[in-house]
Chains A and B, each alone.
Chain A
């Protein structure tokens, strides 16, 4: 069974700090998604990656397929970054089936001013 583990579960930091959220998974995957869930509940897709690194503004996502690990970094963090960050993977064995997406439980991030 594919497991997706995120760490830390909760993170409180001061404004301006560099933030790292980690995601580990147990099976081979074809893609990994990072999602952001706002305090109001809405979910937004941040990144989809299958190799290397992607950057969007102050957000950077990296993935190491061999080590089955991905990280989401936030530079110059701001209180508006406070949210739950969710990692989700597409297992190789899903064979293209839509039920192949497995979600982590999320990392609850609070950035204090």
Chain B
């Protein structure tokens, strides 16, 4: 199993540009998450999904959009990039059948994004 994969690993964007961060998992997990990690700060949840076709906002959703058309894929879309979106983005997945967040989360390697 590849686990959780993310592309690209690194990207530089100009202000106002758009891009999609790709995330895929091959573990048949129902839950998927997008986090951002800023220097010196804890991870913050952007969006999450509890299954194909179902997504919801996390703590810091502004400026982002997601979709989940399949169990495997959970892309994150930045529509109008701003310097405040410079961060490292992590995708994660878990299999949860009972108490959410009781289960181990598996993280992707991260995407480093720089908006200039």
Besides A30-B101, A31-B102, A97-B100, 10 other A-B contacts (C-beta < 8 A): A30-B99, A41-B88, A41-B109, A48-B103, A90-B99, A98-B56, A98-B100, A99-B59, A103-B43, A103-B44
Contact A43/B90 with A98-B48, A99-B45, A103-B42 known, Cβ cut-off 8 Å: yes
State which of B31, B101, B104, B107 has its C-beta within 8 Å of the C-beta of A94.
B101
- Residues in B with CB closer than 8 Å to A104 are 42
Interface size of B in residues (CB-CB distance below 8 Å):
29
Interface size of A in residues (CB-CB distance below 8 Å):
26
Q: Which residues of B contact A (CB under 8 A)?
A: 31, 33, 40-45, 48, 50, 56-59, 88, 90, 92, 99-107, 109-110, 112
- Of all chain B residues, which has the CB nearest A90? B101
Query: Can you pick out 30 interface pairs between chain A and chain B where the beta carbons lie within 8 Å of each other?
Result: A4-B42, A30-B99, A31-B99, A31-B101, A43-B92, A43-B110, A44-B107, A45-B104, A45-B106, A45-B107, A50-B102, A86-B43, A88-B42, A88-B43, A90-B99, A90-B101, A90-B102, A94-B100, A96-B100, A97-B100, A98-B48, A99-B48, A99-B56, A99-B59, A100-B100, A100-B101, A101-B101, A102-B42, A103-B42, A105-B41
The smallest C-beta distance from A56 to any residue of chain B, in angstroms, reads 12
A57 interface contact, C-beta 8 A? no
Q: Which residues of A contact B (CB under 8 A)?
A: 4, 30-31, 33, 41-45, 48, 50, 86, 88, 90, 94, 96-106
- Residues in B with CB closer than 8 Å to A86 are 42-43
